[in-house]
Amino acid sequence: MTLAYPMSDPRTARPATALTQAFERHGGRQAFARDEEIYAQDQEAELLYRVVRGVVRTSRLTVDGRRQVGDFYYPGDLFGLEPGPDHRFAAEALTDCEVQLVRRSAVRAFAGDAELDRAILEATRQEMERLQDHVVMLGRKSARERVACFLMAMAERQADGQVELPMSRQDMADYLGLTIETVSRMLTQLQGESIVEFPSTRRFQIRKWTALEALAA
Amino acid sequence: MTLAYPMSDPRTARPATALTQAFERHGGRQAFARDEEIYAQDQEAELLYRVVRGVVRTSRLTVDGRRQVGDFYYPGDLFGLEPGPDHRFAAEALTDCEVQLVRRSAVRAFAGDAELDRAILEATRQEMERLQDHVVMLGRKSARERVACFLMAMAERQADGQVELPMSRQDMADYLGLTIETVSRMLTQLQGESIVEFPSTRRFQIRKWTALEALAA
DNA sequence: CGGTTAATTGAACGCATTCAACACGAGTGG
DNA sequence: CCACTCGTGTTGAATGCGTTCAATTAACCG
């Protein structure tokens, strides 16, 4: 998918502790249980968040109950930084997780914290790129390609070897603009072609990188 | 679609001349002919743009030739402000148009210009909201709904009554993640139900606002 | 006017969805 | 330890929405 930073992730590139400290300086920390809501859709956006432990999912529900998942956020990721007055997507704890938070007004007031400013700008950049990629994927890619794309992205986040999927098939489907059945079919198809291998439903390994990459293009 | 500013558009809300002057202070102005490229996909993003006259389209081409249109920008709109190092989408003149440009480095250097800063932040906010809406639309809406959504958005940009469509059916299709044929069918369908009326192919009028709004939801 | 491109319409196809049944895995309690 | 249940995921068959391919019509421009 993106891979703007081939090997060195921007999160690990600079000492994680520096940013952590910057956050601690200005805000608090809170734990959320699996499936707990961190903020609601259309809620006023007064805080800024950073994942410490666990995985967070953003999603939007239409009036008639259709759901679109915005993205998944891993430790080190900032989220909830839409510059608008309120959150268009809700955020929920996908797994039990711990989150740091900063009051937005604090960010503006203590504008001296260059570390924090830089991180927010960088996160905004990343957020926009993800959104743009998402648009292209949903607008112009087949189910097979979308699923391949998703697995690629997941693999890039984690170290090589076994990749853990913290989200359900429903979450994947709602992210990809598909149904769970289609996602499932594509997964078994890719597995049938030995491109990926699923020892269990929430865990996989890429067997043919080039083949998967070609699909995800 | 969005309608964050029910009646008063942010572009017209503050005197347009003030921002225009802010841009003139720091940058230049350039004219582009219909279909001319303003910047290329994956080109380094060193400038920031603002439409003065005409309409601009952003789009991204995949390796195998599929195209996704990002958005359409009207007079007053800022574009090309992805915070990344380079443009993920290309920008082209949809019609003959005139554009103001500012060097990004200038924006950072002369960070004193509050007028400009505010405009950029506001434009970034709007850009993200559009992207988010776009994702929901492409991920979870039917062809009929997408087309209705599009017509709604176009109508909101212009004064009531006749609405002019500066883009081709192909542009619409590539924005909506559909084919021209499907777009055409949906348009004739909506016209058949007297929800909209097309006196000519590039010009329409909404007949049943509530019906269209219900579809665009 | 022709000549060219853009848009509409029709018919057949195919991909993803829908609806339904089945399999698997994790907990729970006998 | 096994039986039972419940949630989650997979598989199958039928349907339908949007696409594809092809033909026709409309708009644009010399």
pLDDT at A112: 64
Flag if A140 and B62 touch (Cβ within 8 Å).
Answer: yes
Q: Which nucleotide is nearest to A181 (CA to C1')?
A: D10
- Domains annotated for chain A, with CATH where assigned, are 5-134 (2.60.120.10), 141-216 (1.10.10.10)
What is the rounded CA–CA span in Å between residue A147 and residue A151?
A: 6
pLDDT at A117: 81
Report which of residues A139 and B13 the model is more confident about. A139
In the predicted model, is pLDDT for residue B111 greater than 80? no
Flag if B83 and A124 touch (Cβ within 8 Å).
Answer: yes
Reported confidence tier of residue B5, pLDDT bands at 50, 70, 90: very low
> Nearest Cα to A170, choosing from A84, A69, A64, A52?
A69
Q: Is the CB of A170 under 7 A from strand D?
A: yes
Q: Is the CB of A104 under 7 A from strand C?
A: no
- Select from A3, A60, A117, A136 the residue whose CB has the most chain B CBs within 10 Å, as the one to mutate to test that interface: A136
Q: Is the CB of B138 under 7 A from strand C?
A: no
The 8-class DSSP code of residue A111 comes to T
- Digit-coded pLDDT (tens) for B38-48: 999 999 999 99
List, for chain A, all residue ranges whose pLDDT scores fall below the cut of 50: 1-13
Flag if A89 and B132 touch (Cβ within 8 Å).
Answer: yes
DSSP string of B93-107, one letter each residue: ESSSEEEEEEEHHHH
pLDDT at B18: 74
Flag if B84 and A177 touch (Cβ within 8 Å).
Answer: no
Sheet of strand B196-200, all strands in order from the earlier edge strand to the far edge: B163-164, B203-206, B196-200
CB-CB neighbors (< 8 A) of A135 in chain B:
68, 70, 131, 134-135, 138
- Digit-coded pLDDT (tens) for B117-140: 888 889 999 999 999 999 999 999
pLDDT at B133: 97
Whole-model pTM over 0.75: yes
> Once rounded to an integer, what is the mean pLDDT over residues B95-115?
83
CB-CB neighbors (< 8 A) of A121 in chain B:
83
Q: Around Cβ B203, how many Cβ atoms within 10 Å?
A: 12
- Give the containing element (helix H, strand E) for B38: strand B37-39
pLDDT at B175: 98
Least confident of A4-13, B146-155, B188-197: A4-13
The answer to whether residue B118 neighbours chain A at the CB level (below 8 Å) is no
Tokens coding A146: 């979308």
What is the rounded CA–CA span in Å between residue B102 and residue B47?
A: 6
What is the residue-averaged pLDDT of chain B?
A: 89
Instruction: Show the beta-strand stretches assigned E in chain A.
Output: 27-32, 37-39, 47-53, 56-61, 67-73, 78-79, 90-93, 97-103, 163-164, 196-200, 203-206
What is the rounded CA–CA span in Å between residue B145 and residue B126?
A: 22
Flag if A83 and B128 touch (Cβ within 8 Å).
Answer: yes
pLDDT at B4: 36
pLDDT at A15: 57
Q: Is the CB of B194 under 7 A from strand D?
A: no
> Nearest Cα to B81, choosing from A10, A29, A128?
A128
Give me the phi and psi of A66, to 5 degrees please.
Answer: -75, 145
CA of A86 to C1' of D2 (A): 53
Reported confidence tier of residue B10, pLDDT bands at 50, 70, 90: very low
What is the rounded CA–CA span in Å between residue A9 and residue A175?
A: 23
Flag if B140 and A217 touch (Cβ within 8 Å).
Answer: no
pLDDT at B27: 82
Q: Is there a contact between A139 and A131 (Cβ–Cβ < 8 Å)? A: no
pLDDT at B15: 57
pLDDT at B7: 40
The answer to whether residue B111 neighbours chain A at the CB level (below 8 Å) is no
How many interface pairs between A and B have CB atoms less than 8 angstroms apart? Answer: 91
